[in-house]
């Protein structure tokens, strides 16, 4: 018997229960993994609360790293003892799990299990947002909300490396310091300051080329006001609730704007795309071009405390759960 966190019914963090589980043996094309580190993500909150549908009971978690313990029939891309990381499954809040072998990335020696568990979902997201959703170019200016968060700290460093001017919103002066040390040229304390006004001031009234908005309902409309004419709004999360589709006339009135609502899993939907994207990300992290901040760690059985911290805006960078 092993242990896992189970969402017994949708709700607050109190529905996260520590339970005994029998993992079973891997089927054809699958492997059994002993988990060593688990990445915490806001999407775990959406599934727990029921904002994103999933039948209960279920084991939450989409990101993690571990060691291969057993191979199912026909698995050739990994071997017993390999260190791997993953983000394309549901159920990583567990001491052991069964996973499809096609969506496992072997971790290079220069990337620890904890860093691996922190970058699969968050780092691959930063990569596709900046390179695939909107191929950001040197000299452009972006606004990135929650710049000191898990995705934010990685994305702001990456955007700076591309040569963009990076404006980041943050919830506290401490987060502003961290965001500045991780690629932000300018930070805005959006709990106290009008971020539209500040963006206008910083860009000389022009607006930014792209806004990356994961805050959702509370910031969507103001984020549109930060864009230059024909700018791109990338709405990629719902920390304050989902965004209703606006009257498209608003986009015309505010300057013929583009809006996109991307998801990571549409960019890594085949094993080939997954591996290709992981190779780019691992190269950036192993070479030291992108530094990963693990701001806090919790025991897996304390996952509820980790969810409270994430939802309470009390975390910085990535958060890891240790089984
Ligand atoms: N579409 C995709 O493919 C994709 C993939 C990965 C992540 N995401 C999204 O990206 C966002 C960031 O994910 P993450 O896991 O890295 O989380 P995170 O950024 O570490 O945490 C969320 C941050 O959002 C800010 N926030 C503002 N208002 C908030 C509120 N009412 N409640 C909670 N947080 C609030 C907080 O930062 P401040 O205190 O600085 O405001 C908080 O730290 C999430 O919305 C997630 O869903 C989307």
C-alpha to C-alpha distance for 272 and 37, rounded to whole angstroms: 24
* Sign of the alpha-carbon dihedral angle for 171, 173, 175, 176: positive
pLDDT tens digit sequence for 288-314: 999 999 999 999 999 999 999 999 999
* Sign of the alpha-carbon dihedral angle for 307, 124, 65, 76: positive
C-alpha to C-alpha distance for 66 and 139, rounded to whole angstroms: 40
Q: Is the CB of 310 under 6 A from ligand 1?
A: yes
> Whose Cα sits closest to atom 37 in ligand 1?
146
Q: Of ligand 1's atoms, which has the minimum distance to the CA of residue 147?
A: 40
> Which residues face 51 on adjacent strands?
none
Most ligand 1 atoms within 8 A of CB, residue of 132, 151, 222 to mutate? 151
Q: Is the CB of 16 under 6 A from ligand 1?
A: no
Tally Cβ neighbours within 10 Å of residue 131: 15
**List of domains in the chain:** 2-120+270-322 (3.90.180.10), 138-261 (3.40.50.720)
Instruction: Evaluate if residue 122 carries a pLDDT over 90.
Output: yes
Q: Summarize the confidence of residues 103-111 as an average pLDDT.
A: 98
pLDDT tens digit sequence for 3-62: 999 999 999 999 999 999 999 999 999 999 999 999 999 999 999 999 999 999 999 999
pLDDT score, position 257? 98
Taking the centre of ligand 1 as the mean of its atom positions, its distance from the CA of residue 315, in whole angstroms, is 10
Percent of the chain with pLDDT over 90: 99
Instruction: Evaluate if residue 245 carries a pLDDT over 90.
Output: no
Question: 128 to each of 74, 107, 206, 260, how far by Cα in Å?
Answer: 31, 20, 26, 13
Q: Is the CB of 214 under 6 A from ligand 1?
A: yes
Q: Is 316 helix (H, G, I), strand (E, B) or coil?
A: coil
> Which residues face 98 on adjacent strands?
32
Confidence of residue 83 (pLDDT cuts 50, 70, 90): very high
Q: What is the pTM of this model?
A: 0.98
The residue among 24, 18, 25, 14 whose CA lies nearest residue 3 is: 18
C-alpha to C-alpha distance for 71 and 86, rounded to whole angstroms: 16
C-alpha to C-alpha distance for 194 and 175, rounded to whole angstroms: 17
> Which residues face 7 on adjacent strands?
16, 58
Q: Summarize the confidence of residues 185-197 as an average pLDDT.
A: 98
Burial (CB count <10 Å: 0-12, 13-18, 19+), residue 30: buried
């Amino acid at each position: 018997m092993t242990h896992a966190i189970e969402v017994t019914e949708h709700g607050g963090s109190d529905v996260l229960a520590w339970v005994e589980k029998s993992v079973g043996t891997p089927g054809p094309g699958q492997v059994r993994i002993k988990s060593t580190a688990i990445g915490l993500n806001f999407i775990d909150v959406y599934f727990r609360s029921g904002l994103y549908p999933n039948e209960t009971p279920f084991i939450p978690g989409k990101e993690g790293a571990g060691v291969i313990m057993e191979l199912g029939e026909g698995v050739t891309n990994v071997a017993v003892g390999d260190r791997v990381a993953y983000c394309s499954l549901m159920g990583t809040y567990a001491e052991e799990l069964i996973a499809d072998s096609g969506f496992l990335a072997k971790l290079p020696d220069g990337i620890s299990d904890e860093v691996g568990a922190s970058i699969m979902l968050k780092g691959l997201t930063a990569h596709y947002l900046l390179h695939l959703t909107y191929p950001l170019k040197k000299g452009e200016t972006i606004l990135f909300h929650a710049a000191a968060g898990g995705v934010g700290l990685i994305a702001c460093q990456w955007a700076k490396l591309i040569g963009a001017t990076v404006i980041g919103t943050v919830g506290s002066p401490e987060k502003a310091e961290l965001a500045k040390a991780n690629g932000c040229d300018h930070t805005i304390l959006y709990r106290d300051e009008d971020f539209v006004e500040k963006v206008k001031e910083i860009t000389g009234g022009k607006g930014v080329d792209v806004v990356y908005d994961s805050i959702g309902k509370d910031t969507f409309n103001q984020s549109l006001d930060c864009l230059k004419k024909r700018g791109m709004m990338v709405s990629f999360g719902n920390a304050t609730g989902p965004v209703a589709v606006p009257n498209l006339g608003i986009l015309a009135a505010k300057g013929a704007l583009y809006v996109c609502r991307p998801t990571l899993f549409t960019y890594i939907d085949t094993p080939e795309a997954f591996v290709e994207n992981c190779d780019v990300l691992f190269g950036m992290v192993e070479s030291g071009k992108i530094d990963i901040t693990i701001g806090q760690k919790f025991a897996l059985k304390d996952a509820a405390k980790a969810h409270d911290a994430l939802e309470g805006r009390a975390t910085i960078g990535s958060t890891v759960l240790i089984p």
